[in-house]
Structure 1
Amino acid sequence: MNKMTRELRRSVRSVCALVLALSASWSLTGCDEDAANSPFEEERLKTYIEYLENDTKGEYSEWLKLLETSEFYGMLAARGDYTFLACKNETMQAFYADKGVSGIDGLEKDYVDLLVKTHTVMSKYQSFSFNQGPLSDTTMNGNFLTVKFGQDGLNGLVINGESKVVERDVECSNGFLHTLDRPIEPIGDGIYNTLRAQGEYTILTEAMEKTGLADTLELLTNDNGVRVVYTVFAEKDEVFKAKGIADFTALVAELGAGDDYESPKNKLHSFVRHHIFSGKRYSSALETDILLTVGNTMVKLLKNQEGYFINSKVDDFGLDITEGANSLDLFSLDLQSKNGVVHDMKDVLFEEDIQPITVQDNITDVPELFGKRTSGNDQDVIYTKDIARWRSKGYDQFVYMYQGGNDQLNCYTATAGWFEFETRPILKGKYEITSNFGAGWAVIGCTLEVWVDGVRTDNLIYPGTRNGLIGTYVFEENGPHVIKFKSVSGGRLNVDKITFKPVK
């Protein structure tokens, strides 16, 4: 957009503002003039656009040109609740030089729009409300910005791992303005191309290319049109080289992989899949847990005060970190892409055998179940939400959650009422499965059949039981499992915890 067009748009906006001001003046006819001229009358806050236009030092003139060139100038001059991120002229000149252009007119219009959307968050945040990790609302282009705190706290805020907040908390009538030391590069690529563009992951990205998994890591939707997102644990070249792996060929030799790289049975293919997890897990959501990769292998993640560790030698979720534990780099987390997020490793993540551990699922920790209540009146009521389903069948039946000291799920069932849920991923192995049916005073009030992965067990759970044995099972594959309790007599069905204990 040329200079004349920008000036025309600004003039039109000024005329509109004058009309609005006159309208406001007319509407006040007959009001108390003394009140209108009161010394306590507050000065009206400027909009984001007005603030930039009235900048007496002219430090934001280039950023203002960016906004005027975009299709969002009028919107950002109106009412709203936004967080605005902007850059001063000196920063913009350096940005133009990096892009090989002399000014805003050298940038493509679509790219300008993308820049503006990337620097506008759809809710207003003062800096004190920032938390480590992603903001709770997205930018105008639907992506989350991530926040990291440096050693100086609020004076060391970094957005998306690349742009430092150098001035903050300028209040406008339609949001808050924070100034950055460099523009945030818009997210336009999937994970593979994002890593490749960094130039520091050449060994890993070549492995992705040769195995065919690079294409997978660029997908935005699956064959059914459903959006897909991933989390990748990645090693920079320097991490591989510290292990004596100088290039892609050396990695293949280290793994003992054949040349059929695209075969799922190939060791290189398995190595790459061992780094990929379904779902987007920002650093703020990483907790001590067992994670299932897309290759159906398991990674044991331990979080403590010193950081994040991945170590197959940790026997439990305590603080026993053995020498040589892999770890995530706390200061290189949350590299964003269009279809996921990347976390850096300080060590090479090889696939290793992980010994089964005791896993306990607390049903009442499932947030989707909180506050859910259904009543039957001889109707079937089925609730489905990824992790849990139930049917409360018959007169005056309901499902609800106790909270506080005695958290549990209560389901009053007639015959054939049932409840099922999906566990977290479980390592393959042999387990004794038990269930705790009530916390505190509660015991089960009906007779239950128990089903594991769609197969009915031989054990019945009888009224009055608090802790019941479901059975001993051998799981041949890593992954989650489905537990179902089905009532064969009416009564109260309490569900609290399910425990998987490894046995020999």
Structure 2
Amino acid sequence: MNKTPFTNKLPTKPAYMKKLIKPLATAIVFTLILVGLSQCKKLNIATLTTDDTNLVGYLQKYPDTYSEFIKVLEKSGTASYMNAYGTYTLFAPTNDAMKSYLQEIGKTSIDEISVDDLKTMVKYHVLGDTISTPSFTDGKLPVPTMHGEYLITSVNNENGVSRYIVNRRAIILQPNIHTGNGILHSIDHVLIPSSKTLYQKLKENNNYSLFVEALDATGVGAAIQKLTYKNDTTPNWYTVLAQSNAVFAAQNIFTLNDLKAKYTKPGANITDPKDSLNMYMAYHILTGLKFTADLVMSPSHETLVPQEVITTVLKGENVLVNYETTNGVTDSALVNRPYSDIACINGVLHDLNNNLYIKVRYPTAVYWDVCEQPEIMKLTSIFRKGGKSVTFQVGDLKDVTWPAGTVDYLCNNPGAKDLFYWNDRLGLSYLKTTAGQMNWIEFTTPLIIKGRYKVWVCWRSNNANTGLGMQTWVDGVLLPRTFSFGDYNYGKTLTEDQVRAQGWKRYYVGASTADHMASKLLGTVEILTTGRHKIRFVTTEVSPKTSASWLDMIHFIPETQDQYSPKFATDGSLVY
């Protein structure tokens, strides 16, 4: 994607993490969109395969429908690119869509639009992967446009017929047209990129006037006033959880002075990041780009307040923030979905129906599927697709480092004897102490709330690696117990209680005779700060074997919590 002839300064995909931790996973995302379909009579998801060799060829075949967009491709100099071999998704505006757009912007023809603006238009309508409607989930599509922004999808119902709608603007008239170099979706409106920052979007809405006033007074709003970059191409993304004036009024807060009276001391410097009102406002801003689908895929998310997180949970069709029940009283803030998932040039905006404030956090179990690496997850034709695999070289995975060799991803075909969670695993090749080999590998964990945790590693035993001992380090602290990827048949003749007594567990859902699946307690670690951490595996013995080691999950479970429930199934479900 970065090598296109019309990229200019194209931002790369943001390196925010998608972290699996809780039992909701893919079922959550599908549930959200199915809610929108529940009242619909029919969803147009027809598929058409053409004999045309490419997307442009298909457009040229139907000039009565697409001649205006063909002019856009030609004038912007992108027609030859879209004519080339590749794998793309094109949201193609019809002639009526182009005519409506020209009227909207006060133009009479495409010739009145600059070449740069036309290039932007094309980039915003093209994705660098093939995405058909069965891959549409609630909220954003799985890959960004070539403009660097994500499109969001929902379902529109009109006269009893349901169709997909993109960015709350364009209805897909004909989906899933397969060509030689990609998939085309015909749309009835031109998609328009975000043109305002998070701050500008909030500022223009009078319903958020008190929220904006507090952002200004504390100085917290400076972070979201403009698009900034980590480097030349990677944006700093933010997610704002905004509260309307009505939400504040329900708390008897009507003015900035009311906010000060509730959240800070008289005479305090509210621009000080350690001030309680400053922290209260900063707590409403998350680091990273978190659409609704991202919020529910992880139970916790970092805020601009150091070491403070929000938690999220799905209850039915509702996405709840900081859901908690104390003495029979439930407290949470609902994400108002009709007013959320608002894309801005530097992030995404959500609306809350209740007051959001910093809560005392307690250690929470992290059941980590190590296959959930961003570079793997974006490969939608491979990730969790049975029988698919891909190999990664050193440096290919941002949050996994190793000195030599390769790491491969594999998703088993359904029914395989290996009982990996989600049916997939990482293969770590050639673990040896020999110089120049993969003698260690280090992962960056998902977010973990500070506290004391027992650490379990879960893998598929390979008796070819018997004797290859592994040490485990968490943030530079050595855990007391070693393990071997060759530990095999460790519990074949043992009862569940006997397995546990020896510091192991059967973590999978399946027959107890699946003794090649192993999980071992490595020790207890003190996580000193809420955030992401490093876990490193280091080989300790010379081994002549060259068989891969198959890693499935790593569990960080608070030491006072049940260590043996839930168990994990190949279809992503959990059993308690």
- TM over 0.5, shorter chain: yes
Identify the match of residue 306 of structure 1 among 308, 317, 326: 317
Deviation at 1:425, TM superposition (A): 0.6
Q: SS of the residue aligned with 1:310?
A: strand
Identify if the C-alpha distance between structure 1 residues 474 and 198 changes in structure 2 by more than 3 Å, giving closer, same or farther: same
Q: Give the % identical residues.
A: 20
The aligned counterpart of 1:292 is 302
Whether 1:390 aligns to 2:390 is no
Deviation at 1:67, TM superposition (A): 10
The aligned counterpart of 2:154 is 148
Identify if the C-alpha distance between structure 1 residues 224 and 122 changes in structure 2 by more than 3 Å, giving closer, same or farther: closer
Identify if the C-alpha distance between structure 1 residues 195 and 88 changes in structure 2 by more than 3 Å, giving closer, same or farther: same
Gaps of 5+ in 2: 1-51, 377-382, 384-388, 413-417, 491-517, 561-576
Deviation at 1:451, TM superposition (A): 1.2
Identify the match of residue 501 of structure 1 among 552, 557, 567: 557
Question: How far apart, in 2, do the equivalents of 1:165 and 1:402 lie?
Answer: 36
1:30-429 aligned at under 5 Å gives the runs 47=60, 50-51=63-64, 72=75, 82-85=90-93, 95=104, 113=118, 116=121, 120-121=125-126, 131-135=137-141, 141-152=147-158, 155=162, 157-161=164-168, 163=169, 165=171, 177-180=186-189, 186-217=193-224, 218-222=226-230, 226-256=234-264, 259-285=268-294, 286-295=296-305, 296-313=307-324, 323-366=330-373, 368=375, 371=389, 382-383=394-395, 385-392=397-404, 399-401=407-409, 403-404=411-412, 405-407=418-420, 408=425, 409-415=427-433, 417-429=439-451
Q: SS of the residue aligned with 1:269?
A: helix
Deviation at 1:206, TM superposition (A): 2.1
Deviations 1:331-364 (A, max 9, x none): 2231001111112212121111122122222324
> Does the CA-based 8 Å contact 2:78-2:119 persist in structure 1?
no
> Does the CA-based 8 Å contact 2:450-2:526 persist in structure 1?
yes
Deviation at 1:486, TM superposition (A): 0.6
Q: SS of the residue aligned with 2:229?
A: coil
Paired AA for residue 500 in structure 1:
F
Gaps of 5+ in 1: 1-41, 55-63, 375-380
Question: How far apart, in 2, do the equivalents of 1:222 and 1:339 lie?
Answer: 12
Question: How far apart, in 2, do the equivalents of 1:412 and 1:116 lie?
Answer: 47
Question: How far apart, in 2, do the equivalents of 1:357 and 1:433 lie?
Answer: 13
Whether 1:447 aligns to 2:475 is no
Q: SS of the residue aligned with 2:471?
A: strand
Q: SS of the residue aligned with 1:241?
A: helix
Question: How far apart, in 1, do the equivalents of 2:432 and 2:80 lie?
Answer: 60
Q: SS of the residue aligned with 2:246?
A: helix
Deviation at 1:461, TM superposition (A): 3.8
Q: SS of the residue aligned with 1:471?
A: strand
The aligned counterpart of 1:31 is none
Identify if the C-alpha distance between structure 1 residues 139 and 321 changes in structure 2 by more than 3 Å, giving closer, same or farther: farther
Identify if the C-alpha distance between structure 1 residues 259 and 168 changes in structure 2 by more than 3 Å, giving closer, same or farther: farther
Question: How far apart, in 2, do the equivalents of 1:284 and 1:429 lie?
Answer: 28
Question: How far apart, in 2, do the equivalents of 1:401 and 1:249 lie?
Answer: 55
Whether 1:477 aligns to 2:529 is yes
Deviation at 1:311, TM superposition (A): 2.5
**TM-score, reference length from structure 2:** 0.61
Deviation at 1:231, TM superposition (A): 2.0
Identify if the C-alpha distance between structure 1 residues 72 and 51 changes in structure 2 by more than 3 Å, giving closer, same or farther: same
Q: SS of the residue aligned with 1:478?
A: coil
Deviation at 1:402, TM superposition (A): 5.7
Question: How far apart, in 1, do the equivalents of 2:372 and 2:125 lie?
Answer: 34
Paired AA for residue 320 in structure 2:
F
The aligned counterpart of 1:12 is none
Question: How far apart, in 1, do the equivalents of 2:527 and 2:368 lie?
Answer: 17
**TM-score, reference length from structure 1:** 0.69
The aligned counterpart of 2:501 is none
Deviations 1:29-48 (A, max 9, x none): xxxxxxxxxxxxx9x97749
Structure showing greater radius of gyration is 1
Identify if the C-alpha distance between structure 1 residues 108 and 170 changes in structure 2 by more than 3 Å, giving closer, same or farther: same
Paired AA for residue 290 in structure 1:
S
Identify if the C-alpha distance between structure 1 residues 68 and 252 changes in structure 2 by more than 3 Å, giving closer, same or farther: farther
Q: SS of the residue aligned with 1:420?
A: strand
Q: SS of the residue aligned with 1:234?
A: strand
Paired AA for residue 243 in structure 1:
Q
Q: Which moved more, 1:492-501 or 1:421-430?
A: 492-501
Question: How far apart, in 2, do the equivalents of 1:401 and 1:134 lie?
Answer: 25
Q: SS of the residue aligned with 1:201?
A: helix
Answer 1 or 2: higher relative contact order, Cα 8 Å, separation at least 6.
Answer: 2
